[in-house]
Structure 1
Amino acid sequence: MSNTGTAKIALIDSHPLMRECISSYLAGFDYSITLQVGDGKELIDQLTKENVPDVCLLEFNARKKNGYDIIKMLRSSCPNMKIAIYSMQTGPVENKIPSGADVIIPDQISIADFKSTLDNLIQRQPFVAS
């Protein structure tokens, strides 16, 4: 976490509306949404030593690359960054910790549990959200 105590979050979602909704929601808490992009390549292109986030929140079923490819790119370029994956589509994201993500946020999770999952990720080891 950054020196200010505010967790820095990068948000990857190919849907601008979802990015804005998630960003607006999290901005009301102790999070700083430092980067919002449509795909993993955009994030990699925008990362510098000064703006590496604590957590990358990744919509797993992005249009340009699948989540596995994005996670592989992120692990290579930012090995200490935590990765949380989610999907608004039922199915393939469930139980995919082997993907390299630190946590999976299921599609049926409540908004309160979504935030709680991020809080736990910042403070704990890999797990699957309930």
Structure 2
Amino acid sequence: MNAPGTIRVLLVDNHPLVLEGLEALLKTYDHIEVVGTAGMARTGLELALRTRPDVVLMDINMPQLSGIDAIELFRESLPRTRILMLSMHDSREYISTSVLHGAAGYILKDVSTDEIVSAIEAVASGKTYFSSGVSEVLLEKRSNASPVPLTTREHDVLLLIAAGRSNRDIAQSLGISEATAETHRKKIKKKLGIATTAGLVRFAIDNGLTSPEADIPTTG
């Protein structure tokens, strides 16, 4: 039996040294249980079906089936399992495609172990998470960004949502109450016709949104 609050994690990466290192590091955290490791996405999916992890920490570039293509397979077979991408690539294409396929977060391989754990904790609790380097790419303005019918404050809230922030984090960052942050979140969803937080993240990515008026802090 798992201890209450234990997060079950499956590691998928085609580099044995990365797998061994991650497994060894994560095992030093009492609330994280590594239920298995796999060197290929399909092997990881088979293992996940047996172990039912809370979070799959998965690389992108793997033989036969890429991590991005595997996201949907995991989501279809294990809808309650959250997918967190771990990659050396910080390109908008990789990040946005991962989110569009259903990943709950994206972190870079050069982040600290503590940040990896923070990301695992966040996605396991139903939130999204993007490491600092990824957040910068995520919020980078594109020249063809589409205008959206949001106020400046709603725009800032949307950016923080896209960076994986909770209502409490948003409230602290913008100097508002949690209730107000939740109200803004609901209004944004209504204006954009988007029902889920994941949908808001995808919208922000697709539109390359950024806010010159606000200093949006990075995650981590």
**TM-score of the aligned structures, taking structure 2 as reference length:** 0.53
Shift of 1:73: 1.0
Per residue, is there more helix in 1 or in 2?
A: 2
Q: CA–CA distance in 2 between the matches of 1:5 and 1:28?
A: 16
Rate the CA distance shift 1:106–1:94 in 2: closer, same or farther, 3 A: farther
Q: Compare 108-117 and 65-74 and name the one that shifted more.
A: 108-117
Q: Distance in 2 between matches of 1:129 and 1:90?
A: 10
Larger radius of gyration between Structure 1 and Structure 2:
2
Moved more, 77-86 or 61-70: 61-70
Amino acid at match of 1:58: M
Aligned-partner Cα distance in 1 for 2:78–2:65: 18
CA distance in 2, matches of 1:93, 1:107: 14
Tell me the residue number matched to 1:98: 100
2:68 aligned residue:
68
Q: Which moved more, 1:58-67 or 1:10-19?
A: 58-67
User: What's 1:56 paired with?
Assistant: 56
Question: RMSD of aligned C-alpha atoms?
Answer: 2.0
1:1-80 to 2 correspondence within 5 Å?
4-29=4-29, 30-48=31-49, 51-80=51-80
Q: Deviations over 1:98-119 (max 9, x none)?
A: 1310001134423322221112
* Unaligned ranges ≥5, structure 2: 133-220
The size of the alignment, in residue pairs, is: 128
| Residues 86 and 93 in structure 1, CA contact (< 8 A), matched pair in contact too | no
SS in 1 for 2:19: helix
In 2, are the aligned partners of 1:72 and 1:100 still within 8 Å (CA)? yes
> 1:73-118: per-residue Cα shift (whole Å, max 9, x none)?
1011101100000113453533442131000113442332222111
Tell me, in whole angstroms, the C-alpha distance in 1 between the residues paired with 2:33 and 2:107.
Answer: 19
Taking CA–CA contacts closer than 8 Å with sequence separation of 6 or more, which of the two structures ends up with the larger relative contact order?
Answer: 1
The Cα shift of 1:17 comes to 0.7
Among all aligned residue pairs of Structure 1 and Structure 2, give the percentage whose two residues are the same amino acid: 23
Shift in Å at residue 38 of structure 1? Answer: 0.8
* Long gaps (5+) in structure 1: none
Q: Output the TM-score relative to the length of structure 1.
A: 0.85
> Given that residues 58 and 84 in structure 1 are in contact (C-alpha distance below 8 angstroms), is that contact kept between their aligned partners in structure 2?
yes
Residue 119 of structure 1: aligned partner: 121
> In structure 2, what is the Cα distance between the partners aligned to 1:73 and 1:21?
26
